[in-house]
């Protein structure tokens, strides 16, 4: 208790030097929380968007289906049983039929994934009801990215060629019913959505689908001949991306923290040589050497407490402001799931973890120079003789 009281007194008594160190450390502290808050905000938004637009609460895949292997698509389809039909009717599942196709926008050729989906579905955010709003039976919705790469607009027609279940090529003009905006590139890039019934008819695959998307109402349980893929599996790529970003961030945070800690280390080393007489006086007054080591260690570590308080003083209003307006990056199209505006998420766990990290590292770097005191001869210290 005495060490803490004395340490804070010494620290505040040191004036500007203390506040310079504390300012640098508080900046590191706020930056670490800010960066991690951004990543966590991105993570949460990304996961939510991916669930809302693509994965739902999980998916049942045809056993042949592999999202990374286009060659599996041709044979990855099966009949929808009565049990599945009931769940579809209750909005617990929505079926999706997938086939490879080629679009010919303005004479060019582009491979696409043609996806059949129920226009009435309510599980995914895809504006599938737009498919019902046009007279033309062969209408499609596409994402903004797809529209840009193919230079298609609403009302345009594009020739699409596909192979039915027997391998026979067929082709037809499809009218673009609407263009949607989505933060999840895998829902958008190279994807064209048409009515499920229409695609089943085009493919001669009546009442068949490649996968079933589960909604929030889905009660769970297995479905015979379909493999359930949970969110952990479906979001694995996104999770890996976030982990990579976090790891990259840690390097930046590490550098930031090292700069701040170097300032404390430097101050501690200087203190121990500059304050030799003071150290000698402490010992003469009855402190043991280990108590003096403790005092100097706490003093160095206390920089981090002051940094946390200072960081809180300007960090909390800053974070609250950023949380209310979000951080807009324009319209990045980096091929990854990222919203135009990210709302950082600062959890209590993040703040406590950062606090512990900063306090612990500041205390450790303070301890090493302070250890030298334990080897000091108090009579030399009193005379300020040590080199």
Partner 1 sequence: MDIIKINDLVKRFPVGKGHFTALNKINLSFGKGEFAGFVGPSGSGKTTLLNIIGSLDTPSEGSTIVMDKSISDLSHKQAARLRNMYIGFIFQTYNLLPVYTVFENVEFSLLLQNMSGSKRKKAVMDALEWVGLTDKIKSKPNMLSGGESQRVAIARSMVKKPEIVLADEPTANLDSKNSHHILQTMKKLNEEFNVTFIFATHDEKVMKYLNRIVTLEDGKVVSDKENKS
Which residues contact partner 1 by CB under 8 A? Answer: 2, 9-10, 12-14, 277-278, 280-281, 283-291, 377-379, 382
Q: How far is the CB of 43 from partner 1 (least distance, A)?
A: 46
DSSP secondary structure letters along 348-379: HHHHHHHHHHHHHHHHHHHHHHHGGGGG--HH
The answer to whether 207 touches 80, Cβ cutoff 8 Å, is: yes
DSSP 80: P
Phi-psi bin for 152: left (phi > 0), alpha (psi -120 to 50), beta? Answer: beta
Q: How far is the CB of 19 from partner 1 (least distance, A)?
A: 14
Q: How far is the CB of 342 from partner 1 (least distance, A)?
A: 45
Beta carbons within 8 Å of 36's beta carbon, 6+ residues apart = 246, 249, 350, 354
Separation in Å, CA 364 to CA 8, 75, 361, 380: 17, 61, 5, 26
Measured from the CB atom, the residue of 251 and 285 that comes closer to partner 1 is 285
Q: How far is the CB of 363 from partner 1 (least distance, A)?
A: 21
Q: How far is the CB of 264 from partner 1 (least distance, A)?
A: 18
Measured from the CB atom, the residue of 66 and 380 that comes closer to partner 1 is 380
Measured from the CB atom, the residue of 212 and 287 that comes closer to partner 1 is 287
Measured from the CB atom, the residue of 1 and 251 that comes closer to partner 1 is 1
DSSP 69: -
Measured from the CB atom, the residue of 13 and 221 that comes closer to partner 1 is 13
Q: Are strands 211-214 and 59-61 parallel, antiparallel or unpaired?
A: antiparallel
């Amino acid at each position: 208790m005495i060490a803490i009281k004395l340490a804070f007194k010494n620290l505040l008594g040191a004036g500007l030097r203390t506040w310079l160190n504390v300012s640098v450390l508080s900046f590191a502290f706020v930056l670490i929380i800010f960066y991690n808050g951004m990543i966590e905000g991105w993570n949460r938004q990304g996961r939510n968007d991916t669930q809302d637009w693509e994965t739902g609460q999980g998916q049942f895949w045809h056993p042949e289906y592999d999202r990374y292997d286009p060659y599996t698509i041709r044979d990855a389809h099966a009949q929808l049983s009565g049990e599945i039909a009931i769940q579809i009717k209750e909005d617990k599942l929505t079926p999706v039929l997938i086939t490879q196709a080629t679009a010919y926008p303005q004479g060019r050729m582009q491979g696409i994934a043609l996806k059949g989906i129920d226009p009435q579905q309510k599980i995914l955010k895809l504006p599938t009801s737009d498919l019902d709003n046009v007279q033309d039976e062969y209408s499609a919705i596409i994402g903004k990215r797809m529209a840009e790469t193919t230079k298609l607009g609403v009302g345009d027609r594009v020739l699409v060629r596909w192979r039915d279940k027997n391998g026979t090529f067929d082709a037809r003009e499809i009218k673009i019913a609407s263009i949607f905006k989505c933060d999840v590139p895998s829902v958008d890039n190279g994807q064209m959505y048409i009515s499920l019934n229409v695609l089943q008819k085009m493919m001669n695959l009546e009442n068949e689908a490649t996968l079933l998307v589960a909604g929030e109402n889905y009660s769970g349980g297995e479905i015979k001949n379909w493999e359930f893929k949970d969110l952990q599996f479906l979001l694995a790529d996104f999770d890996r991306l976030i982990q990579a970003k976090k790891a990259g961030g840690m390097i930046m945070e590490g550098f930031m923290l090292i700069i701040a800690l170097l300032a404390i280390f430097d101050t501690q080393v200087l203190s121990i040589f500059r304050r030799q007489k003071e150290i000698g006086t402490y010992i003469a007054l009855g402190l043991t050497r280990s108590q003096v080591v403790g005092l100097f260690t706490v003093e160095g570590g206390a920089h981090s407490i002051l940094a946390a308080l200072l960081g809180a003083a300007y960090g909390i209003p800053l974070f609250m402001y950023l949380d209310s307006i979000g951080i807009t990056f324009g319209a990045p199209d980096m091929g990854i799931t990222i919203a135009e505006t990210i709302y950082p998420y600062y959890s209590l766990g993040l703040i406590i973890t950062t606090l512990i990290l900063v306090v612990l590292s500041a205390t450790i770097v303070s301890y090493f120079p302070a250890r030298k005191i334990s080897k000091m001869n108090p009579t030399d210290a009193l005379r300020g003789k040590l080199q």
